[in-house]
Amino acid sequence: MLDLINLPAGTVLAEKYRVTGALGAGGMGVVVAAEHIGLGNRVALKIMRPELIDNENIVKRFMFEGKAATRLQSDHVARVLDVGRLSGEGLPAEGVPFMVMEFLEGHDLSHWVRTGRRFSVYEALHYIAEAGEALHQAHKSGVIHRDVKPANLFLTEREGAEPIVKILDFGISKLLEEQPSEMGLTKTTAVLGSGLYMSPEQMRSAKNVDQRTDIYALGVCLFELLCGTQPFVADTFPELCVKVNVEEPTPISKYRPDIADELASVIRRAYAREVDDRYQTIVEMMAALAPFASEATLPLISQICGGVIPAPPKPLEATVTAVATDKGLPKAKVGAMAAFFALVGAGAVGIMFSTSTAEQARPDTDVRSLDGGARTVSIPSSSAASLAAPSASASAAPSAAPSSSASVVGSASAAPAVTTPVYRKPRFRRPLPKKPPPPAAPCFKDGPNGLKIPC
C-alpha cells in the first residue's frame, strides 16, 4: 500500500514524477518535491490526503484551486502545470487528486516574520506591490483569493536574479461568476481563510465578499511585515471577531515609531472596518503607497496602474454620519456633537469665503516624509499625475528589490504654485427701517343743525 503522507524518495507517481523529498504538509494534503522523468525539470506535487476523498466538497475545492490559478497570467502567482488523480494498490478506486506546480526555492514571508526579521519600509512596500500585482490580475479575472496572508506570500530565491514574491494557495478562492454547481463550495455560514487576516464581512459570510476583502488582508500583511504582528490579536476566534468589529486597531507607531504618520494613515485605510472606507481596488491602494516606495518599486506600481500612477485617493474625513443607535456612540457624546455643529452652523454666517480671486484653491499636493525625513516625494494633483522619485542612497534600497533604477513619469506639467486662500470679513449693511404709512385723511359727514360728525 502506498503511503502518500510519508512518500520515500525515489517513488514514482503517475508514471512520470519521481519523488525527491518532502516539502510540507497541511490539513488538506502534503507537498513533495519531484522530478519529471522525461523532461528532467523539478516540480512540486500537492497531493490530497486519502482520508478526505469521501468529502466531495473538499475534493472539488482542491481541484478548483488548479482551475483558479491557471486563469492568471502573472509572474507573481505560483503556476499550476497539471492536475490528475493517483491510483494504485490501497488507494481509493476513484483515485487521489494531485496537482503539479512549479518548484519554488525559498521561504514564505511568515517564516521571516517568525524569525524576528523586521522589514524596512522599502522592502515591505516592494513585496506588497508584487503581491498586489498578482491580486490585481486575479481580480480582473474575477477571482477573489480570500486567504491572503504572509504564509501564502512565498519569497522565491532565484539564481542570478533578485527574489520575488509569488502568491500560493488559491484553494479557497472564489470566482465572481461561480456556476450553480460551484456555489455550494462557498457556504454562506462557512468560515474560510485565516482569522487574523479576515475582513469583518468575511467573518460574517465568506460567500458575500468581493475584492475588498483581499485588500483588507493585504493591508494587514503590510502591517505585519513592518511590525511583526497584526493590528488585531486575540486568543480565540470569537474574541478576534469582537475586536475586529468593535475596537480600534493597534497603531503602527506602537511598534514602529520611525514610520511617518502619513504612511501609517495610508496603511490603516487598507484594513478599514467599513468596506466603503477602504481602497476599492488594488490600483487605488498602490497609488496611495507610491509616494513612499523606492524607485525600484515604482515601475511595478505603474504597471499595476496601467502605465500612469494616478493621484492618491483623498484621505478619509472624520464626519458624523449616524445617530447613536447606528454607531454605538453614547447619547451624551451625540448631544455634545450636535451642540458643537449647531454652534458652528450659527457662527458660519459670520465667515464668508472671498470669491474675488479665481482658482486660488490649494492643489492636491501631498508631501510625505519617510524614515525620519530621509526622503521626500511630492505628488501633484492631476488625472495623469507624474511621479518621479528622487534618487535614494544604495543603503536605503531594499536588498530584495529589482535592480532597475528606472523612474516612472506620467504628465510633465508642473504643479501650480501654492497660494493661500484669502478670507475677508463680510460687509453687512443693515436695512433701513421702514417708514410707517401716512395716516388716512379724516372723514366727516353732515350732521343735524349743520354740524360735521366723524364717519
CA nearest neighbour of 102 among 159, 171, 37, 45: 45
CA angle 155, 104, 77 (to 5 degrees): 70
DSSP per-residue letters across 84-131: EEE--TTS-TT-EEEEEEE---EEEHHHHHHTT----HHHHHHHHHHH
* Count of H-run helices and E-run strands, the chain: 12, 17
Q: Pick from 452, 259, 296: which is nearest to 372 by CA?
A: 259
**Given 147, 169, 214, 366, which residue is catalytic?**
147
Active site residue 364: no
DSSP state of 257: T
The type of residue at 326 is D
- What ranges make up the beta strands (E) of 165-303? 165-167, 174-175
Between CA 247 and CA 234 the distance in angstroms is 12
DSSP letter assigned to residue 77: B
Q: Which residue from 189, 165, 157, 2 is spatially nearest to 78, judged by alpha carbons?
A: 165
Query: Which H/E stretch holds residue 31?
Result: strand 29-36
How far is residue 226 CA from its own chain's centroid?
Answer: 16
**Which positions are annotated as active-site residues?**
147
